[in-house]
Amino acid sequence: MTARSSLTVVLAAGEGTRMRSSRPKVLHEVAGRSLLANVLNAAPHGPGSALAVVIGPDHKAVAEEARRVRSDVATFVQAERLGTAHAVLAAREAIARGAEDLVVAFGDTPLISAETFERLRAPLAKGAALAVLGFRAADPTGYGRLLLENGHLVAIREHADATEEERKVTLCNAGVMAFAGARALEVLDRIGNANSKSEYYLVDAVEIVREMGLEAVVIETSEDEVRGINNKAQLAEAEAVMQARLRKAALDAGVTLVAPETVYLAADTTFGSDVTIEPFVVIGPGVTIADGAVIHSFSHIVQSSIGKNALVGPYARMRPGTSLGDGAKIGNFVETKAATIEAGAKINHLSYVGDAHVGAKANLGAGTITCNYDGFFKHKTLIGEGAFVGTNTSLVAPVKIGNGAYIGSGSVITKDVPDDAMAVERSPQSNREGGAARYREMKLRGKEGKKG
Please state, in angstroms and as integers, the Cα–Cα distance from residue 253 to each residue in 239, 242, 273, 428, following that order.
Answer: 21, 16, 8, 58
Same domain, 150 and 290: no
Q: What is the C-alpha separation between 70 and 66, in angstroms, rounded?
A: 6
Same domain, 323 and 373: yes
Q: Which domain holds residue 101?
A: 6-226
Q: Name the pLDDT band for 2 (thresholds 50, 70, 90).
A: low
Residues 240/126, Cβ–Cβ less than 8 Å? no
Same domain, 141 and 267: no
> Cα-Cα-Cα-Cα dihedral of 439, 441, 442, 445, to 10°?
160
The answer as to whether 393 is a domain residue is yes
Report helix, strand or coil for 288: strand
Please state, in angstroms and as integers, the Cα–Cα distance from residue 233 to each residue in 229, 285, 302, following that order.
Answer: 9, 22, 25
- What's the domain count of the chain? 2
CATH number at residue 385: 2.160.10.10
Q: What angle do CA 409, 410, 413 make, to 5 degrees?
A: 95
Question: Which H or E run contains 271?
Answer: strand 270-271
- For residue 136, the model assigns a pLDDT of 94
- For residue 1, the model assigns a pLDDT of 39
Q: Name the pLDDT band for 333 (thresholds 50, 70, 90).
A: very high
For residue 60, count other CB atoms closer than 10 A to its CB: 11
Looking at the annotation, which residues are catalytic? 349
pLDDT in tens, 264-299: 999 999 999 999 999 999 999 999 999 999 999 999
Same domain, 207 and 75: yes
- Intra-chain end-to-end CA distance of the chain, in Å: 101
The answer as to whether 440 is a domain residue is no
pLDDT in tens, 137-167: 889 898 999 999 888 899 999 888 889 999 9
Same domain, 217 and 255: no
